[in-house]
Amino acid sequence: MSAPALELVAVSKRYAVGGSSPVVAVDNVSFQVQAGQVVALLGPNGAGKTTAMQLALALLDRDAGEVRLFGEDPELLEVRRRVGFAPDAPLFPRRLTGLEVLELHAALLGLDRAQARSRAVALLDQLGIAEAGRRPCSGYSRGQGQRLGLASALLGEPELLLLDEPTAGLDPAGVAAMRELLSGLRARGAAVLLNSHLLSEVEKVCDVALFMKDGKLLHRHAVAESAHRAEVRVANLEALRVKVSQLLPDARMSGDRLSVAVQSASAMPALVKLLDEAGAQIIEAKMEGAMLERLYLEIVEGKGALAAQGTV
Amino acid sequence: MSDATPTSATASNQLISWPIALQCARERLRSGPAIAFIVLLACTGFYSSGMRSPAQIFGGSPIPSIAHLIVIGLTLLLGSGIISEEIESGHAQLVLLRPVSRAAFFGGRLAGAGLALFAAMLLPWIISCALAIAAGDFVPAYLLALPVAFVETLAWLALIAALSSVLRGSGNSLWALIGAFLWLFARYGLAGASALANQLHRGELLQAFSSKVQLVLPFLRPQGTSELVEQQYQHAAIDFGPLLFDLVWIAAFWTLGAYLFSRRELARRRA
């Protein structure tokens, strides 16, 4: 089996803060991102997500632990060729146009002039900044800068892409385009690590969500699994509890809500029919979708149950 | 193979990253004040009919020619924040994520500013040469004027770039300017004060100090190589010493600048 695209093993980082004791930004964090996998780092501001990303790229020195990209030292220049990084709010030389910035980065990756230009033009077009790409970067909005940063990260068709808040500053169309882009990256086997506060988007595109708080990795959640649960609200669920448990042994019940693992959304009619035949008064039936938000609030608010079981 | 697959390797041990150099030259030449300086510099080429020798295109000692002063100003301008701006904006970190070494990044930025300077100096030189050819008094010394003047300018630029590796923003050009004024003060002010003290039969100590300082001072700046053009023009024996000194100066500050940049970048990572 080939090495993971990205692997952090017990990585820690402390920041020296003038005069006071050092702040632990990342504390003994370990995780992997495999080829073809989209992994999200989730957590409140100051959780250590961006620092973890910078440690993964050797943009910061770690105090402890190991970082490997494709099983190699991230400092190796050849490894860097296989990686793309789009930082939060990137800044580019003010007097260069977006196209020139991309041509520079393409040339640094070893593309010849013609390849660099055609690739840069195609990416500007794909990310909806073809017109802005011909203007100097000094006049870019945050969203345009964000898209240019993303275009720069995608230039070398990287096998591993790290995206720091990729949807911050994007309009809804940009967010949708980003979702499409991530799906495309996964389809071609690229590994993606992103951090975002847009949980609904993360839920749609990510395979794994990693919850961080105070520099610690609290919980690893397989998004794909929770996406295949149906939630049914039943008015008389309390009265049917025993019967439902016999029919659906794996079902979870809470109040009037029943949560059932299903293969896909197409299983919903059969489930509704089964419950109806059992005498259930169904109020609402839908695919479960807001799992991440619940998990997030639970972890951020420190309710603890998940943190206790959460080894990654 | 995808059309975006890199086809040529980017060497990890190169001294100059040429994509960075070209980007830097392009970016520097687009600043409004730089364009104004370049236009002024080009105009000085038309003054060449009044020159005593081709050495005066960019030199003109003992009193600096207008072209010389403009080149000094342009050097300060093009070298201003040449490394620090990239570090402070965070673009340097993005670039260093590519397969490019810190030394090649520094070399690329310095070479880029050098290219921009060379392009700016090319204009008055071409105009001077063309006017000399038209007037029928073109001599080989004209050919030497540009490369020789460029070496001295590049030496100043190497110093300014090295300062930019450690100073914030445009502090490098400011400190280079302050350094130049201090040098001038030490060279002429101190000598004058020493002579005055001597006349008043006082200040043996000052005189002794001044004479020692005067020994060292000439080596604390690029030598200025316009004499070489003058010697060629006069068919005199050519002294390559100053040219060699300036080449060593460039190599020394290039190396020092790359080392300081590397240290600053590593310190940022450790912070």
Indicate yes or no: CB of B97 within 8 angstroms of CB of A59: yes
Chain B residue numbers with beta carbons less than 8 Å from the beta carbon of A110 are: 6-10, 99
Q: Which residues contact A112 (CB under 8 A, 6 or more apart)?
A: B7, B8
Indicate yes or no: CB of B23 within 8 angstroms of CB of A96: yes
When CB atoms are compared, the residue of B7, B26, B91 closest to A110 is: B7
Confidence of residue B10 (pLDDT cuts 50, 70, 90): very low
DSSP A40-61: EEE-STTSSHHHHHHHHTTSS-
> Model confidence over B53-108: pLDDT tens digits?
777 777 655 455 788 889 999 999 999 999 999 999 889 999 999 999 999 999 99
The reported pLDDT for the residue numbered A307 is 44
Average pLDDT over every residue of B191-195? 74
SS (H, E, C) A241-256: HHHHHHHCCCCEEECC
Distance CA B242, CA B227 (A): 9
- Identify the DSSP state of B75: H
DSSP A162-222: EEESTTTT--HHHHHHHHHHHHHHHHTT-EEEEE-S-HHHHHHH-SEEEEEETTEEEEEEE
Q: Closest residue of B to A95, CA-based? A: B27
Half-sphere exposure of B114 (CA within 13 A, CB side): 25
Indicate yes or no: CB of A85 within 8 angstroms of CB of B98: no
Indicate yes or no: CB of A157 within 8 angstroms of CB of B9: no
Indicate yes or no: CB of B95 within 8 angstroms of CB of A87: no
Selected residue with higher pLDDT from B109 and B227 = B109
When CB atoms are compared, the residue of B31, B98, B266 closest to A108 is: B98
Q: Which two three-digit tokens encode residue B153?
A: 């300018």
The reported pLDDT for the residue numbered A310 is 42
Indicate yes or no: CB of A85 within 8 angstroms of CB of B94: yes
Distance CA A106, CA A149 (A): 13
The reported pLDDT for the residue numbered A199 is 82
Q: pLDDT at residue B8 above 80?
A: no
> Model confidence over A100-124: pLDDT tens digits?
999 999 999 999 999 999 999 999 9
Mean pLDDT of chain B: 85
* B23: closest CA of chain A, how far (Å): 7
**Residue B133, H or E segment:** helix B102-135
Q: pLDDT at residue B175 above 90?
A: yes
> Model confidence over B18-48: pLDDT tens digits?
999 999 999 999 999 999 999 998 888 887 6
Counting as low any pLDDT under 70, the low residues of chain A are 1, 19, 224-228, 288-290, 300-312
The reported pLDDT for the residue numbered B189 is 81
Q: Closest residue of B to A13, CA-based? A: B270
Q: Does B100 touch chain A (CB under 8 A)?
A: yes
Q: Which two three-digit tokens encode residue B149?
A: 């003047």
Q: What is the dihedral of CA A231, A232, A233, A237, to 10 degrees?
A: -120
pTM: 0.82
